[in-house]
Structure 1
Amino acid sequence: MVDLQNVKPYGDTLDDGMVQLSFTLPVSLSSVSKEAARQLVASMGLEEPAVAHAEAISDTFSFFIVYAKCKHGIDIAGIVVPEVDLEVLSKKEIDDFISTHLGRKLNIVGACIESDAHTVGIDAIMNIKGFNGHKGLESYHEINAVNMGAQVTCEDVIRKAYEIKADAILISQVVTQKNIHITNLTKLVDMLEAEGLRDKVTLVVGGPRISHELAKELGYDAGFSSNTYAEHVASFLVQEVKGKN
């Protein structure tokens, strides 16, 4: 029986606390660098660290995988995570909703903005083929979905939004260590506000490590992460757009 107030990592047996860490050190591979990797993990407070794999990446960089035991547990029962509150509708229900409440097609612009070149996420939501058996927004009869692709400037996104009289703008972003995603996402919000367009469109951002909380903090209406399909996004959009019309 799992104690939800003290959940620990699981390796071979319940509550054994086993974790796996992988990292790179900017030193050549040797017995000394292996020991350095082991000691580094021990200094993190993990017990019984053991280097399971070590590989030279170049003459001056080495990659390590280390197993160790975590003595800490976490109270999952006490965690509250902000999430998008919506009723997920089927593809047909979404088309019917748009037809009934809007009386016209829902206009949506989607893009990976600025330096972001990763189109997998936006394609999964927008393209007709979708992803994992879930058809994209282009397949919806009552949605006019315009996928602008990757590395699209904020200026071009706004220009296209004006052109098709967009009800919503969908942005896909990969979270980066240097927080470039925050710079990109904030830039779009600022430009939309300067154009007087922010309150007229529903603004959504998605990505593998995007949270609803982060999206709201940056000025977006919603944030979607992994395991999100077109019907999740569309269900949110139609209910939001209805409230603005």
Structure 2
Amino acid sequence: MRPQDSATTDRTAPQDLPSIIRPYGDTTGDAMVQLSFSLPVPAGKRAELAALQLAGKMGLEPASVVHSKAMGPNFTFFIVYGKVNHLIDYAGIEVPEGREYPLLSGKEIDLAIRTVLSRRMVVVGACIGTDAHTVGIDAILNVKGFAGEKGLEYHREIQVINMGAQVTVEELVERAKAENADAVLVSQVVTQKNAHIHNTKQMAAAFHAAYPTAVGPGMGRPLLIAGGPRFDTVTEQELGVDRIFGKGTTPREVASYLVHALLPSWTPENPAEGER
């Protein structure tokens, strides 16, 4: 996910920040943490000793098993509580800057598209692969929207094609071409075995192969946008997409980015720039 506007606590003056911090468990600075995991072994004393060995290898010393439960005949779930020896240089952490484009109003978004494109912007969205979770893509595309904001369908100047769930890459590329899409939005929620990363890379590779390299209205391939709650371990360059959006993203953020990326000549201060 791309960073949101910094919270108030992130804007604390450097001289007011604590320098070195430890985790908090029972009392401030006691370095106690709690973690959960599963082991492929039957529940019992041997399993608990194995969990404690793992905790020790992870740097928790001392540690204790505060909960264990059998998950079928050959798996056990554990919650372990223990002390870590690691310190965090909190004052030295560099906070990424906020969004690099302005957050536009609904009227500004429609005005930008109407002024520069002189037609409706075409956006195709889908959940690809075996992913059947449409909550994310629907929150961005459907009129009902998310977090009090209307989805992209609400905009008069945006034509939305929501292909739904379990769409193949081939179907997505074919539909994007048929609709002359300006942007393609792909939502991935299922993350087992990094399926979201594999699927998105496959999608991006297919679009790069099917379109010229240029990006933009009438210039080449559509803008490629990936969204989901677990893309924080990869970058746009690694996936082959133009933008990644994560959890908490709102329709307005996505629509504002579409204007920023596809209509760079337009700005809120000088909306007629695209006509020159």
Do Structure 1 and Structure 2 share a fold, with TM-score over 0.5? yes
Q: Paired residue for 1:94, among 95, 100, 109? A: 109
Q: Paired residue for 2:201, among 175, 186, 199? A: 186
d(CA) in 1 for partners of 2:190, 2:87: 27
Indicate the residue corresponding to 2:7 in structure 1.
Answer: none
Give the CA deviation at 1:70. Answer: 2.1
SS of residue paired to 2:261: helix
Give the CA deviation at 1:55. Answer: 0.9
Give the letter for the 2:63 counterpart: P
Indicate the residue corresponding to 1:225 in structure 2.
Answer: 246
Correspondence 1:127 to 2:142: yes
1:132-147 superposed matches below 5 A: 132-147=147-162
Show CA shifts across 1:169-213 (max 9, x none). 011123635333333222222221222255321111111111495
Runs (5+) with no aligned partner, structure 2 = 1-14, 215-219, 266-273
Show CA shifts across 1:46-90 (max 9, x none). 122121211111111111111122221223433355875222222
Indicate the residue corresponding to 1:150 in structure 2.
Answer: 165
1:16-165 superposed matches below 5 A: 16-76=30-90, 77-79=92-94, 81=96, 85-165=100-180
Show CA shifts across 1:139-192 (max 9, x none). 222211111111111111111111221110011123635333333222222221
Q: Paired residue for 1:207, among 228, 237, 257? A: 228
Q: Are the equivalent residues in 1 in contact too, given 2:191–2:230 (CA < 8 A)?
A: no
Q: Are the equivalent residues in 2 in contact too, given 1:114–1:153 (CA < 8 A)?
A: yes
Give the letter for the 1:44 counterpart: M
Q: Are the equivalent residues in 2 in contact too, given 1:173–1:207 (CA < 8 A)?
A: yes
d(CA) in 2 for partners of 1:212, 1:125: 22
d(CA) in 1 for partners of 2:251, 2:156: 13
Q: Are the equivalent residues in 1 in contact too, given 2:205–2:240 (CA < 8 A)?
A: no
Closer, same or farther in 2 for the Cα pair 1:163/1:83, shift >3 Å? farther
Closer, same or farther in 2 for the Cα pair 1:151/1:2, shift >3 Å? farther
Indicate the residue corresponding to 2:3 in structure 1.
Answer: none
Give the letter for the 1:107 counterpart: V
Q: Are the equivalent residues in 2 in contact too, given 1:192–1:198 (CA < 8 A)?
A: no
Which sits farther off after the overlay, 149-158 or 91-100?
A: 91-100
Q: Are the equivalent residues in 2 in contact too, given 1:124–1:136 (CA < 8 A)?
A: yes
d(CA) in 1 for partners of 2:64, 2:263: 57
SS of residue paired to 1:220: coil
Closer, same or farther in 2 for the Cα pair 1:12/1:103, shift >3 Å? farther
Runs (5+) with no aligned partner, structure 1 = none
* RMSD of aligned alpha carbons: 2.5
SS of residue paired to 1:60: coil
Identity of matched residues, %: 47
Closer, same or farther in 2 for the Cα pair 1:83/1:150, shift >3 Å? farther
Q: Are the equivalent residues in 1 in contact too, given 2:149–2:251 (CA < 8 A)?
A: yes
Closer, same or farther in 2 for the Cα pair 1:110/1:82, shift >3 Å? farther
With structure 2 as the length reference, what TM-score do the two structures score?
Answer: 0.79
Question: How many residues align structurally?
Answer: 245
